[in-house]
Amino acid sequence: MSFGSELASISRRRQDVVAITLDTCNLTWGVAPCTASTGSKCYNTYITCDDKPHYDKRGKKYFFTNAGANNFKIPEALPYITEISDLPTEIKENGTVTKRLKVRFADEPELTDTVMDKYYADRATIQGSFWQKLVARNPNYKGRIIELYEGFDSLSVADFTLRFAGKIENITLGNGWCEIEAIDLLRSLDDIEFPTPMNIKLAEKMYRMFNNVTSQAEMLALPAEQYDWAYRVDRETLTANPALSDSNPNGVLNDAGTYGITVVALNAKNRALASNTQNGLTLNTGDNCFTLSWTAYSGATKYRIWLSGAGASYDNQYIERIGTSYTLGTTADSGNLYPGTIPNAQRYYELTGTDPTNIGNWIDRSAAEVEIDVDNASTLASSGYFQVDEEIIYYATKSSNTLRDLQRGVLSSNSEATHESGTQLYAIASPATGNPFQVLQDLLTLGGIASGYISSAFTTLEAAWTGIDFSFLPYSKKKKLSEIYFNAVRSVDCISWVGEDGKIKIKELTNTTSAGDLNDTENIISGSISRDLNEESRYTRWILHWNRFDGTKDLDDLESYSNTTVLVDADAESTNYYNDQVQDEFFSAFIADTGNIAGDASDYVDDLLTAWKTRTKQAQEIVTLAVELKDSGYKTGDVITLTTTRLQDIDGFGYSGVKFLIIKKEPQGGRIRLTLKRIYE
Amino acid sequence: MGSKIAYYNFLQFAALTVTSQATGFPKANLQDFRDYTYWKATGTGDQTIEIDLNGSGYEASYVGYIGFVGHNLKTADAAIQLQKWNGTEWEVVLSDFAAPHDHAFFKTFTADTAAKWRVILSSLAAAPQIGHIGLGQVCEFDYLPDAPFNLGGERVIATQEISNSGNLLGVVTDYAEVELSSTWSPVSTTELAAVEAFWDNHARYGRPFFYAPDGDTDGNYVYWAHIPADSLELQKPRSTSVYVDSISLTMRGHR
């Protein structure tokens, strides 16, 4: 006997099983490594733990079934369920209605405590009621997994089918009852911030960093305050005296050709202060070296000379000098060459006084000195990114709780704000680029959703995908993760919802393969059918904004997109037809030229808009009908065909094989109410 | 033969010893009046459940029945024997008997006292599983309930659906307890005393009991019954004679 055979039989008795997974310690009280030794024994939960450092967290499932049900085949289930109310998933273009589950349980006093208490036999007395004790011992129930299975009273629990998996939101206790309210896993993304907070905070105040200062004059004009920083990217011009172009016939550079010479002045910290480059210097046969001289630069302790051009062996090598002249091309050069590229001008300055206009108050700092202490860096990688307030920062090294070699305000974020000690650090997730279905899975993983709750359809679609890569800006403005997720879902022209097996589903809207036919004879319960013409679902123009370039703005901020594509159904907007303009506007944070071959993203957008037009240029009627329990195999997200004389088309004949998408499925005792949405292909 | 009610449970005050217990199915589940939490043995070897009342205050209490509910003793083909400790040795109270089915049933015997009792399960074809064992007292009526004599009224809650074309699509039934309301008349003062003992010591607390309306304690109509919370009431209209006119009990239960 199986779930399927019971479902197909003409009469049967339904049974529900609810499973709740709460934390439990895997150790035994007082047995190593548990060091507890005095007082009453714990209840193997964290709050009752007598040796928290050794608490070994695992999951423990508690099973329940309907009050009055014969649970002999499910002996682990307590028959406490008195009522289940289920707000089902409804698929919409932009997301899902929150699926909520409420289960009411009976509570009862216990003479024994065998289900919850591992040490019941050691207690002097047993008292209290089941639920009161369960909640008291597990105050951290919120967010723990609850599952609802349905089956028949002739089946073992292994033959039951999962109908809901979600997270516990709240528990209410009454006199002799307990009610648990749960939300689905997608809804739980609403509670997760994007970027996601790390369990790390700044341990000191972080001052402002003025980035990309391009001259000393600009630096001195900064609105800086004491301890603020400036990051200069300019390099002063090193004055050549005379020009770096004199040739000298006495050297060993035998390769006639055109050369370039760069002399860079460096300070004691090896940072470039000034430079001079002369290109197009001709070396004729017989002119075997260059004689160079330049004017000393204030603050410079050394000079480095690069030669590029026909003498390729000199590329990315330099000669270092203390003085201000050199004859390049002598036999001594070959022994004094050091590897190294011409340095970028990167200089950090910290304002040590209060007056930023006084150059003496700006103290030159090395990159390693740009650092910050956090309260606990143990979980951080040796290098990487984090976000604090609206700023994204890269750290190149980590030492204990100090992050060093900081690059402030990277990835288009703003570094000109002070971050107070104690400010929360956020992980910058990188669902950055790649296959859209991989990006979606990354987002779900970021939301703490285990892979077991993610439908295999994601990987199937990922493997089959031949379209563009998604590109997402590293995000700096805080959002709900759900908003990001559903933006990606729509960008790839899909729908996503929590399926009845508790898994998060994904379906391409272009996939209209029918799962079966519902008809008057075999399926539709008498008198149950009705329809809503759903006029508001019709559009006459479709607008897609894409190529987002500014991550600091809201997703729907037009200013942060560089491209907009519009498709208009002129016929529909004409006076003879609807005579109105109804637009479907969408801001895609994922569709971009970045990472794609030129023109591909544009073609993708054109195809996407065409598909939207095909689907929504006519109102998609909503049909509701009821079927018997035997048809519960049809699930939300399935496409079905409908054959009924109760709905008629232009010619007055009944519908025959008309395609609909099941967007809602509500169990109502022995019947199931389905809400269907018309599909146009 | 009149109706029988087997109630009370000295197991709840006893120290239990069992030959074996499977993980998650401890022996304590035999004591808690809940037929849906189980003791289960680890295998098919002979199993002994020893009930030690020493020090409990119930060593000298009269015991007149043993009952089983939430069990698989028929499926396991168990030979069941009840013994008592007479101070010197184990003495057979009920020699080997078989469970008539896997539903509730009980066996009565001449009430006796003992500090220790034991149930021996042998010849097992499957690991035995028992939700609750009752070991207590019996309230016996002289007669069956008054007419109309109803062994148990069950009203099935069901939904039936037909299609637009009139075809029966399916039937779904729900769980329903059996209504066991009974009235007995006349009732002798002896019976009244027994009923009052049952009521005062057990039923008024809402605790479940075994009920055999036709007196056949291992027949098909033995219920694991209780008095619903909204019916915790014992009506005892008394006439001037030595007989009470009638006693009514509103009960619900299942097999």
The set of residues, in sequence order, having a beta carbon less than 8 Å from that of A196 and lying 6+ positions away, is A426, A427, A429, A446, A481
- Give the mean pLDDT of chain B: 89
If you ran DSSP here, which 8-state letter would residue A32 be given?
A: T
**CA angle, corner A659, sides to A656 and A664, nearest 5?**
120
Read off φ and ψ for residue A216, nearest 5 degrees.
Answer: -65, -40
Best of A81, A111, A120, A529 to disrupt the B interface (most B CBs within 10 Å) is A111
Q: How confident is the model at residue B138 (pLDDT cuts 50, 70, 90)?
A: very high
pLDDT at residue A606, as a whole number: 96
Angle in degrees, CA A372, A377, A378, rounded to 5:
160
Q: Which of A116-125, A234-243, A249-258, A518-527 has the lowest mean pLDDT?
A: A249-258
Give the per-residue pLDDT at B243: 67
Strands A622-628 and A272-283: unpaired
pTM over 0.80: no
**In sequence order, which ranges of A465-522 are alpha helices (DSSP H)?**
481-491
- For residue A343, name the pLDDT band (cuts at 50, 70, 90): confident
CA-to-CA distance for B94 and B96, rounded, in angstroms? 7
**Nearest-CB residue to A628 (from B169, B173, B175):** B169
Closest-approach residue (CA) in chain B for A64: B36
Which residue numbers of B have CB closer than 8 Å to A's CBs? 12, 24-26, 28-29, 31-33, 36-38, 40, 70, 72, 102, 129, 158-177, 254
Residues 6+ away with beta carbon under 8 Å from A316: A339, A340, A341
Check: CB of residue A634 under 8 Å from CB of residue A627. Answer: yes
B47, two tokens? 């199993």
CA distance A77 to A74: 6
pLDDT of residue A58: 93
Hey, what are B4's tokens? 């029988």
Identify the CA nearest to A332 among candidates A252, A402, A270, A388: A252
Dihedral-angle region of residue A78 (phi above 0 means left; psi in -120 to 50 means alpha; beta otherwise): beta
Q: DSSP character for A14? A: E
- Residue A334: predicted pLDDT: 62
The amino acid sitting at B44 is T
What values do phi and psi take at B142, rounded to 5?
A: -75, -30
Q: Which residue has the tokens 């070994």?
A: A56
Highest-confidence segment of A195-199, A485-489, B56-60 = A485-489
Decide which of B56 and B81 is more confident. B81
For B253, which residue in chain A has the nearest alpha carbon? Answer: A68
pLDDT given at position A288: 66
β partners of residue A246? A291
- Strand-pairing partners, residue A96, are A91
Q: Residues of A near B (CB-CB distance < 8 A)?
A: 10-14, 66-72, 75-79, 110-112, 114-115, 120-121, 520-527, 529, 626-630, 644-646, 669-671
Cα distances from A397 to residues A23, A423, A623, in angstroms, run: 37, 21, 60
Query: Contact A523/B177, CB-based, under 8 Å?
Result: no
Question: Does the complex come out with an ipTM higher than 0.85?
Answer: no
Q: Is the four-CA dihedral A381, A386, A388, A394 of positive or negative sign? A: positive
> Long-range contacts made by residues A441-447, C-beta under 8 angstroms, separation at least 24?
A443/A481, A443/A484, A443/A485, A443/A488, A444/A189, A444/A485, A444/A504, A446/A192, A446/A194, A446/A196, A446/A481, A447/A185, A447/A188, A447/A189, A447/A192, A447/A481, A447/A485
| B98 Cα to chain A: minimum distance (Å) | 20
Asked if residue A474 has pLDDT above 80, the reply is no
**Strand arrangement of the beta sheet that strand A246-248 belongs to:** A246-248, A289-293, A325-328
| Cα A412 to Cα A211, A348, A431, B138, distances in angstroms | 11, 19, 17, 85
Rg (CA), chain B: 20
Among B26, B14, B76, B74, residue whose Cα is nearest residue B50:
B14
DSSP H or E stretch at residue A565: strand A561-568
Higher per-residue pLDDT: B240 or A673 = A673
pLDDT in tens, A568-598: 999 999 999 889 999 999 999 999 998 888 8
Based on C-alpha coordinates, what's the Rg of chain A? 35
Residue A120 belongs to what H/E stretch? none
**What's the CA gap between A409 and A416, in Å, rounded?**
8
- Please indicate whether, in this complex, the C-beta atoms of A529 and B70 are within 8 angstroms of each other: no
Q: Is residue B139 within 8 Å of residue B197, measured between CB atoms?
A: yes
Closest to A277 in 3D by CA, of A291, A259, A289: A259
> Is the model's pLDDT at B34 over the cut of 60?
yes
For residue range A18-71, what is the model confidence (pLDDT) as tens digits? 999 999 999 999 999 999 998 899 999 999 999 999 999 999 999 999 987 877
Please report, for residues A32, A223, A389, A664, the alpha-carbon distance to residue A228 in angstroms, rounded to integers and kept in the order given: 53, 9, 17, 57
Reduced DSSP (H G I as helix, E B as strand, rest coil) percent helix, strand, coil of chain A, to 5: 15, 40, 45
Cα torsion B242, B245, B250, B255: sign = positive
Counting one residue from A and one from B, how many pairs have CB atoms under 8 Å apart? 109
Backbone angles phi, psi at A384, to 5 degrees: 160, -165
Average pLDDT of span A489-513 = 91
The whole-number pLDDT of residue A36 equals 94
Would you list the DSSP string of A583-604?
A: EEEEE-SS--STTS-TTHHHHH
**CA pseudo-torsion sign A320, A322, A324, A327:** negative
Asked whether A149 and A157 are in contact (CB, 8 A), the reply is yes
A521 closest CB neighbour out of B24, B165, B172: B165
Of B199, B223, B190, B240, residue with least CA distance to B35 = B223
Separation between Cα atoms, residue A409 and residue A386, nearest integer Å: 11
B104 exposure class (CB count in 10 Å sphere: 0-12, 13-18, 19+): buried
Closest residue in B to A109 (Cα–Cα): B32
B55 within 8 A of A133, measured Cβ to Cβ:
no
N residues, chain B: 255
Q: Is-contact A670 B190, C-beta < 8 A?
A: no
